[in-house]
Amino acid sequence: MIDLLDTVLKAMLDEPLMAPALQPLLDADVSFITPDKTYAPVQETINLFLYEARENRELRDPVPIVETRNGLSVRKRPPLRVDCSYMVTTWSKKTGVDKVAAEHRLLSLAFNWLSRFPTVPERYLRVPNTNPVQYVLPGQVFPPPTMVAQLDGAKNAGEFWNALGIPPRPYFNLIVTIAMDLAQEVEGAMVTTISTHYHAADPASDEERIILGGTVRDAANTPVADAWVRLEPAGLTQITDHDGRFVFASVARGAGMTLKARAMGRTDITRPNVDVPSLTGEYDLQFT
């Protein structure tokens, strides 16, 4: 997965349509090799050294995802959200003052360009000229957020450069947060009950749990598979099956809930003021 992120970042730095003032970036090589004392690029180079990968627990979703597949209910652990931290440096074959100027100029151009993207644009995630669309970095329901020159784990930069055996160099850090599917699933029989009541000997202790389901479609009324559907404030998440269907189990009765849907390449949709159970019995969502 991280190697695919490298491919995406290289594509961002090789963007042929960037502004003329940033065109020197296109003449530079992009490398992910560890810049130690043996590192000797043969041309001007932007080096992105991956020094850390850690789970982003602030973005962790603790709620399992329930997917309907082949008549079964499949519970999946939500993808990890992983911060991939790169140290970005620039290298030139020039010498003396010219070398410093060239490296600083290239570093500032890379800083300028990468700072323009709060998230990785979808065009860099797509494999060109594929129909249906394929992705270089699959499984990214959320556009990968980026941070440039923020606080990071490379706090002891002097020790870092000393470990690599080279003099300290100017750098900035780039952090990209990607989703990583753990592929952990548990299958079970689909539940078709609409409403269930539980109570002890005293009927006053009655507790009702509701099962609701619907379909996600696009503007052409075609079912959308692999869309994420969220029910708030219940905090439940599902992924639609190949027919665009989703089912939420064990939902408490309530009014004014919100259904949300998200899918790669589409604008998020929100359906507010959903009552559970709905008087119409309909919980469908449609992308516009």
Given a cut of 60, whether residue 204 has pLDDT beyond it is: no
Top-tier CATH class for 2-60+80-180? alpha beta
Architecture of the domain spanning 191-286: Sandwich (2.60)
Task: Give the pLDDT score at 172.
Answer: 94
Neighbours of 145 (CB within 10 A): 17
Boundaries of every domain in the chain: 2-60+80-180, 191-286
Q: What is the distance between the alpha carbons of residues 42 and 26, in angstroms, rounded to a whole number? A: 15
Q: What is the distance between the alpha carbons of residues 75 and 252, in angstroms, rounded to a whole number? A: 19
- Helix %, strand %, coil % for the chain, to 5? 20, 40, 45
**What kind and span of H or E run contains 83?**
strand 80-91
Given a cut of 90, whether residue 116 has pLDDT beyond it is: yes
Task: Collapse the DSSP code of 160 into the 3-class scheme (helix H, G, I; strand E, B; otherwise coil) and give the result.
Answer: helix
Give me the mean pLDDT over the 51-60 stretch. 88
Q: Which amino acid is at 187?
A: E
Residues 6 or more apart whose Cβ sits within 8 Å of residue 232: 257, 258, 260
Give me the mean pLDDT over the 208-227 stretch. 88
* Of 24-38, 49-63, 155-169, minimum mean pLDDT range: 155-169
Confidence of residue 57 (pLDDT cuts 50, 70, 90): confident
Task: Give the pLDDT score at 243.
Answer: 83
Same fold? 2-60+80-180, 191-286: no
Give the residue, 210 or 260, on which the prediction is more confident. 260
Classify burial at 58, counting beta carbons within 10 Å of its beta carbon; exposed 0-12, middle 13-18, buried 19 or more: exposed
Q: Average model confidence (pLDDT) for the chain? A: 84
Task: Give the pLDDT score at 39.
Answer: 92
Give the residue, 94 or 78, on which the prediction is more confident. 94
Q: pTM of the full predicted structure?
A: 0.65
Task: Give the pLDDT score at 265.
Answer: 86
Of 82-91, 121-130, 200-209, 278-287, the range with the highest mean pLDDT is 82-91
Packed helices 2-13 and 96-114: angle between N→C axes, nearest 10 degrees: 110
Find where tokens 């990890």 sit. 80
Give me the mean pLDDT over the 128-137 stretch. 84
Task: Give the pLDDT score at 41.
Answer: 92
Whether 56 and 177 have beta carbons less than 8 Å apart is answered as yes
Of 64-78, 104-118, 147-161, the range with the highest mean pLDDT is 104-118
Give me the mean pLDDT over the 74-83 stretch. 81
pLDDT tens per residue, range 227-277 = 999 999 988 999 998 888 898 887 888 889 999 999 988 999 999 999 888
Distance, first Cα to last Cα, the chain: 31
Cis peptide before 167 (omega within 30 of 0): no
Q: What is the distance between the alpha carbons of residues 218 and 286, in angstroms, rounded to a whole number? A: 5
Give the residue, 112 or 74, on which the prediction is more confident. 112
* Of 80-84, 103-107, 139-143, 146-150, minimum mean pLDDT range: 139-143
Classify burial at 192, counting beta carbons within 10 Å of its beta carbon; exposed 0-12, middle 13-18, buried 19 or more: exposed
Of all residues in the chain, the percent with pLDDT exceeding 70 is 84
Task: Give the pLDDT score at 161.
Answer: 85
Task: Collapse the DSSP code of 272 into the 3-class scheme (helix H, G, I; strand E, B; otherwise coil) and give the result.
Answer: strand
> Given phi > 0 = left and psi -120 to 50 = alpha, else beta, which region is 41?
beta
Task: Give the pLDDT score at 190.
Answer: 44
